[in-house]
Structure 1
């Protein structure tokens, strides 16, 4: 079944060309089912690219998913197309004020990881979203800085600066093979990483509410869960498309920044060659497993949350 998004959303045409199942409001209204309601709090500066990346994965499911895009009302985005946020997004305070309920919520990463959390201009608003989601969302998926922010706000887990940026495609292990999110996974799988900091593993392990589901010595903690899967914290970017790391690498080069070639990404670590995608299948599987978990566990009547 498809994801439900406006036909005027730029991602609609891009996903249709890829044969991703999408559906318009008119057609959805004539289907006698309750779609999953999933909100996406998009904090990434690459607004449209991030929409497409996440919708591509959410659309590869037998479930109909009704998508809502959320933004920080206290933060002015400089990178979204003119009028895009006003047309397709609602502010988080509107969602909270109207006591809106979601089956699932995704909180993306953001390019603010070197700042102390409290110095991020929308921190108080994000903290309010995190508090709201605990009571009004069945399962929340936090990505990269969004994961660090969630672990810090809810459990006091600090972030630590890495000696150098963790950048590239890395193998990850599975600690618990029989959990819902890893159904069908191989014992080792690849996923993109792009970050300067990490959440403190000792602080995570000290909290009995938190379970480290995936980690390696090279990457550190990759996936943490809490409340039996109702909170997922993913430190990397399974949603990245084939050229995302390439764009980040060349962007930093153009800025004159000291940046390593993304590891295990270009054939022979040669940036002149086309990257090889080796994480796509597990990315789709992860998001399908998450949606399936939400579908199986969320109340039919969201008022019961």
Structure 2
């Protein structure tokens, strides 16, 4: 089934060029199907790239998805035009009275700041609080996962000795979880971050459970016991060249970054990187949508998030 997004969104052309079925708004209006409403709070500076990456994962499922994009009003984006934001994004004030089957909160390049020092932190707190009553299931990614753990469960982040960047091998700690159904016993996933969370505090929290982790990179998949909140500490949405673009950006900035681990063949940045995480990333999004959104969300979307 297709993903339903605005006709003029840049991601539309990119996805269609990959033979992904993108449904026009006109055609969607003439179908008697209740699509899943998924809201993406895009906190990444590379907004158009992130939109396309996440929508690519959402679109490759048998479900019809209606995607809406959310931005923070309290932060001025510098890497995308105001016209793009005003055309395709909504603000929290515009959606606060609505209900959604799913919410995705992306990462953000603010890891080294204390949460309270992030200029949109208060607004993000309002959105996370709102999600408990107006969203059926929320997927938090990278810094978004750290922010969600801190706000909902009081588990803070800490700075790592060096940036964790690369493709790491992971193991399933709870292979019976539908979230990882179909994943191999050992799989690769991307991490790109300067901070981590207190793994011991996560494992000890009675409302949280660890689904997958890495001996090198630490926690990867964590979920709430009630299956309403999901935390992904990597970047499953990344394209094959995203880590390379980040690495080259840091080189140009004079940061002298380490070469991303297990990414370039022979650890040679001059060689084309291999994408070893695409399949697990797609399964992760598909499983979240199927088992934790579609199969459990109320048919009446206005009831999504409402406690029975």
Offset, 1:5: 0.6
Q: Kindly indicate whether the alpha-carbon contact (under 8 Å) linking 2:170 and 2:215 is maintained by their aligned counterparts in 1.
A: no
Which of 101, 104, 107 does residue 103 from structure 1 map onto?
101
- 1:295 alignment counterpart: 294
- 2:218 alignment counterpart: 220
Structure 1: how far apart are the matches of 2:81 and 2:232?
28
- 1:88 alignment counterpart: 88
The 10-residue stretch of structure 1 (78-87 or 263-272) with the greater mean CA deviation from structure 2: 78-87
The 10-residue stretch of structure 1 (220-229 or 11-20) with the greater mean CA deviation from structure 2: 220-229
CA-to-partner distance for each residue in 1:119-149, whole Å, 9 max, x for gaps?
0000000000000001111100000000000
- 2:67 alignment counterpart: 67
Structure 2: how far apart are the matches of 1:123 and 1:182?
31
1:1-305 map, 5 Å: 1-96=1-96, 99-293=97-291, 294-304=293-303, 305=306
Structure 1: how far apart are the matches of 2:258 and 2:223?
31
| TM-score scaled by length of structure 2 | 0.97
The 10-residue stretch of structure 1 (222-231 or 64-73) with the greater mean CA deviation from structure 2: 222-231
The 10-residue stretch of structure 1 (159-168 or 144-153) with the greater mean CA deviation from structure 2: 159-168
The 10-residue stretch of structure 1 (80-89 or 100-109) with the greater mean CA deviation from structure 2: 80-89
Structure 2: how far apart are the matches of 1:24 and 1:16?
11
Give the 3-state SS of the residue equivalent to 1:20 in structure 2.
coil
Q: List alignment gaps of at least 5 residues for structure 1.
A: none
| TM-score scaled by length of structure 1 | 0.98
The 10-residue stretch of structure 1 (241-250 or 73-82) with the greater mean CA deviation from structure 2: 73-82
Structure 2: how far apart are the matches of 1:218 and 1:173?
11
Q: List alignment gaps of at least 5 residues for structure 2.
A: none
CA-to-partner distance for each residue in 1:62-114, whole Å, 9 max, x for gaps?
11100000000111101113410000000123212xx1100000000000000
Q: Kindly indicate whether the alpha-carbon contact (under 8 Å) linking 1:172 and 1:214 is maintained by their aligned counterparts in 2.
A: yes
Offset, 1:228: 2.8
Structure 1: how far apart are the matches of 2:21 and 2:283?
16
Q: Kindly indicate whether the alpha-carbon contact (under 8 Å) linking 2:98 and 2:302 is maintained by their aligned counterparts in 1.
A: no
Structure 2: how far apart are the matches of 1:118 and 1:21?
41
Q: Which runs of 4+ in 1 moved over 4 A?
A: none
